[in-house]
C-alpha cells in the first residue's frame, strides 16, 4: 500500500536548552484517508511495537496498521471507540453502548496481540456512578492476571463520586470486586465528557495518574490511601484536542500532548512547568480534522530511547523516535614525563579514542629519568594556553589522575588491572621506565597499564642487535661477576644463566642454528 506522506516537516525546535543533546526524527507517516474508515467510528487508537491499534465501533473490529498500511491482522473489537493497552502489552477495548456512560453490562475486552487470546470483564457496579465511556487510558499491570484501569466520572448528576475516579481491578484473571470502587480526588476534579486517565510510574518510581480532559489543563493524581490528591500541570502551548500522555525517560518526567492551534494535529514534548517544549511538531492540516477534537499520542520507552505514536483521526498516523545524541568524545592528554616530554600545563600526549569500546588508548615510552629509574604522569581533558604563572589553575578541574594521597607507585603486580582515577586532587602515577600501553575509561574512571615486553633476541647478550663472538665474551663476564640474569642470556632456554648457555651460544655461532 502506498505511503502518503504529509507535507509539513517536523520542527526540531530547540526552544530551550532542554533540547540540547537529544535527537527527534520522524520514522514513518501515513495519511488515514487511504483506509476508508468512517472517522466518527474510529475516534481512538494507540501504538506499540511499531504498529497502531484502532477500534472501529461500526464494525466492532480492531485493525492493526504498520508502515505499509493495514497488516491484515484484526481482532474482535467493541461497541465503543475506546482502546488502550496495559503494562504487559495487552489490548483493552471499551465495549459499552455508544454514546453513553459506563452503565449496565458495560465491559472491557482484553486481547493478547501475540496469541490472539481474549477475555471480557463486566465493569461492576462497585465502580460507582461513571460518566462517558468513549475513551480509556493506559492501564496498570497485566489484565490477564492482575491490573487496574482508571475510569472517569461524568459532568452530570448529584452523586458525590460523579467527579471522582473509578478503579476497575482484576486479580487472578477475574474481576476483583473487593478492589473495584470509586475514589474521591482532592482538590476535586471537574468531570468532563471526554476525559482520559493514564497510569504511569513517575520520576520517583511511584504510581501516578495523569487526568487529562480535552479543554483544560491536565492534573497529576497521587494515591492518598484509597483516594487521590491532585496537582495541576502546566504544559507550554497546550491545545484543546483530546490526548495527553506521560512517560519517564533520561531522568525526566515528560508529557506528549496536542498543541495550539486548537483542533489540529500538532503536538509537543515537554516537562511540566517548562517555558517551552523540548520538541514541537507543527500541524500538517489547516482545519479541524475531526468533529470530536482528537489527536492521540502515546510513548513507548525502551533502553535506547522513546518511540512516539500519533493517531489523529481523519488526518494521519505517524511514528517518531526520541533518542540521546552521542556526545562528542573529549580529548584526553597524558601530562608528564612520557615520550620525552617535560611536565607542562600546555603540552601533553594526545590519546587515541576507541569509539567501539568508549576508551582512550596510547602507547608511551618512559625513559626512566628519575633517581630510581621512574617517570611520572597524569591526565587532563583540556590543555592550558600557557603556563607562565605556573601551577595547575589553567586546567582545573580538568586534570585527573590516581586515587591516592600521594603519587601512586605502580609496579608489575598491577599490570593489566584497572586502577581508579579521580578529578579530585588526582595524583600522578610513578612508573618504572619502559614501554607501556595505557587505556583510560572516563565512563568508569579507570586506567589500565600494560607493560609492553621488549622483543628478546636469543643470544644477543650485549644487546647490539645481532649475535656474535662479542656476546660470548659478555656472557662469560656476566657469569664471572655474578651479574643478574637477562632473558637474552638464556641461550639453552632452561630458565637460568650458566656455563651451559656459553656452550649453546658457541654452538650456534659455529653451526648457524640453535640446538633443539
Which cell numbers in the block locate residue 360?
582512550
pLDDT in tens, 329-368: 889 999 999 998 888 888 899 999 998 999 999 999 999 8
Q: What pLDDT is stored for residue 195 in this prediction?
A: 87
* pLDDT level of residue 507 (50, 70, 90 thresholds): very high
Q: Which residues contact 121 (CB under 8 A, 6 or more apart)?
A: 107, 108, 110, 143, 168, 170, 174, 175
The predicted structure's pLDDT at residue 388: 57
**Cα gap 123→127, rounded to integer Å:** 7
User: Which residue would you say has higher pLDDT here, 424 or 241?
Assistant: 241
Q: What is the pLDDT of residues 420-448, one digit of tens each?
A: 999 887 799 999 988 999 999 998 999 99
What percentage of the chain has pLDDT greater than the value 70?
90
Identify the pLDDT of residue 20: 76
Q: How confident is the model over 94-123, as pLDDT tens digits?
A: 998 887 677 667 899 999 999 999 999 999
Is 38's pLDDT higher than 80? yes
Q: What are the respective helix, strand and coil percentages of the chain, to the nearest 5? A: 10, 40, 50
pLDDT band at 129 (very low <50, low <70, confident <90, very high): low
3-state DSSP assignment of residue 95:
strand
Q: What is the mean pLDDT of residues 403-408?
A: 85
b/e for 122-149, b at 16 or more Cβ within 10 A?
A: ebbebbbbbbbbbbbbbbbbbbbebbbb
pLDDT value of residue 392: 60
Note the pLDDT tens digit of each residue in 255-282: 999 999 999 999 999 999 999 999 999 9
Q: Measured between alpha carbons, how far is 37 from 456 in angstroms, rounded to an integer?
A: 80
> What is the pLDDT confidence band of residue 63, given thresholds at 50, 70 and 90?
very high
* Spatial distance between the Cα atoms of 257 and 270, rounded to a whole number of angstroms: 9
Question: Is the peptide bond between 187 and the residue preceding it cis, with omega within 30 degrees of 0?
Answer: yes
pLDDT at 153: 66
> What's the CATH number of domain 333-451, 2.102.10.10, 2.60.40.3620, 1.20.140.10, 1.10.260.40?
2.60.40.3620
* Residue in the block written with cell 472491557: 108
Q: Residues 1-13: pLDDT tens digits?
A: 322 222 233 333 3
Kindly list the domain boundaries of the chain, sorted by start residue. Answer: 333-451, 469-511
pLDDT > 90 in the chain, percent: 66
DSSP string, 289-353: SSTT-B-EEEEEEETTEEEEEEEETTTEEEEEEEEEPPPPPPP-EEEESSTTPPP-TT--EEPEE
pTM value surpassing 0.85: no
Three-state SS for 471?
A: helix
267 and 29 Cβ atoms separated by less than 8 Å: no
Give the mean pLDDT of 156-166. 59
126 has a pLDDT exceeding 90: no
Query: CA 12, CA 23: separation in Å to the nearest integer?
Result: 8
- Residue 135: closest CA among 76, 188, 197: 197
Cell of 131: 460518566
What is each CA distance from 496 to 470, 489, 492, 493, 509, in whole angstroms? 20, 8, 9, 8, 20
Amino acid at each position: 500500500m502506498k505511503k502518503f506522506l504529509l507535507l509539513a516537516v517536523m520542527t526540531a525546535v530547540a526552544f530551550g536548552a532542554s533540547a540540547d543533546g537529544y535527537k527527534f526524527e520522524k520514522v514513518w507517516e501515513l495519511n488515514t484517508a487511504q483506509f476508508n474508515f468512517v472517522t466518527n467510528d474510529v475516534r481512538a487508537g494507540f501504538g506499540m511495537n511499531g504498529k497502531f491499534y484502532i477500534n472501529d465501533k461500526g464494525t466492532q473490529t480492531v485493525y492493526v496498521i504498520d508502515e505499509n498500511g493495514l497488516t491484515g491482522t484484526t481482532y474482535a473489537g467493541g461497541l465503543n471507540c475506546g482502546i488502550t493497552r496495559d503494562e504487559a502489552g495487552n489490548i483493552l477495548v471499551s465495549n459499552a453502548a455508544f454514546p453513553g456512560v459506563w452503565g449496565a453490562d458495560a465491559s472491557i475486552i482484553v486481547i493478547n496481540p501475540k496469541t490472539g487470546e481474549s477475555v471480557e470483564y463486566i465493569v461492576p457496579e462497585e465502580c460507582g456512578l461513571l460518566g462517558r465511556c468513549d475513551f480509556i487510558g493506559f492501564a496498570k499491570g497485566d489484565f490477564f492476571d492482575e491490573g487496574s484501569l482508571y475510569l472517569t466520572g461524568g459532568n452530570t448528576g448529584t452523586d458525590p463520586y460523579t467527579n471522582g475516579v473509578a478503579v476497575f481491578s482484576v486479580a487472578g484473571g477475574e474481576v476483583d470486586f473487593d478492589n473495584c470502587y470509586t475514589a474521591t480526588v482532592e482538590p476535586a476534579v471537574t468531570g468532563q465528557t471526554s476525559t482520559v486517565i493514564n497510569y504511569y510510574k513517575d520520576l520517583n518510581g511511584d504510581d501516578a495518574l495523569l487526568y487529562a480532559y480535552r479543554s483544560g489543563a491536565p492534573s497529576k493524581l497521587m494515591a492518598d490511601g484509597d483516594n487521590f490528591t491532585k496537582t495541576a500541570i502546566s504544559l507550554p502551548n497546550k491545545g484543546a484536542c483530546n490526548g495527553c500522555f506521560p512517560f519517564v525517560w533520561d531522568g525526566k518526567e515528560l508529557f506528549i500532548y496536542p498543541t495550539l492551534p486548537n483542533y489540529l494535529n500538532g503536538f509537543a514534548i515537554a516537562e511540566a512547568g517548562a517555558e517551552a517544549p523540548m520538541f514541537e511538531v507543527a500541524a500538517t492540516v489547516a482545519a479541524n480534522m475531526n468533529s470530536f477534537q482528537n489527536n492521540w499520542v502515546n510513548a513507548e520507552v525502551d533502553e535506547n530511547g522513546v518511540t512516539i505514536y500519533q493517531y489523529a483521526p481523519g488526518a494521519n498516523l505517524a511514528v517518531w523516535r526520541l533518542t540521546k545524541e552521542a556526545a562528542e568524545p573529549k580529548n584526553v592528554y597524558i601530562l608528564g614525563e612520557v615520550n620525552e616530554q617535560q611536565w607542562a600545563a600546555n603540552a601533553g600526549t594526545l590519546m587515541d579514542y576507541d569509539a567501539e569500546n568508549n576508551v582512550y588508548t596510547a602507547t608511551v615510552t618512559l625513559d626512566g629519568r628519575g633517581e630510581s629509574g621512574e617517570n611520572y604522569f597524569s591526565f587532563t581533558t583540556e590543555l592550558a594556553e600557557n603556563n607562565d604563572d605556573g601551577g595547575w589553575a589553567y586546567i582545573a578541574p580538568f586534570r585527573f589522575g590516581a586515587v591516592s594521597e600521594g603519587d601512586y607507585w605502580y609496579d608489575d603486580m598491577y599490570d593489566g588491572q584497572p586502577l581508579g582515577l579521580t578529578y579530585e586532587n588526582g595524583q600522578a602515577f610513578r612508573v618504572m621506565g619502559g614501554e607501556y600501553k595505557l587505556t583510560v575509561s572516563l565512563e568508569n574512571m579507570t586506567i589500565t597499564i600494560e607493560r609492553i615486553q621488549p622483543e628478546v633476541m636469543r643470544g644477543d647478550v650485549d644487546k647490539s642487535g645481532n649475535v656474535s663472538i662479542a656476546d660470548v665474551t659478555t656472557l662469560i663476564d656476566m657469569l664471572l661477576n655474578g651479574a643478574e640474569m637477562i632473558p637474552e642470556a638464556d641461550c639453552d632456554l632452561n630458565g637460568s644463566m650458566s656455563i651451559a648457555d656459553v656452550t649453546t651460544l658457541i654452538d650456534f655461532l659455529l653451526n648457524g642454528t640453535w640446538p633443539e
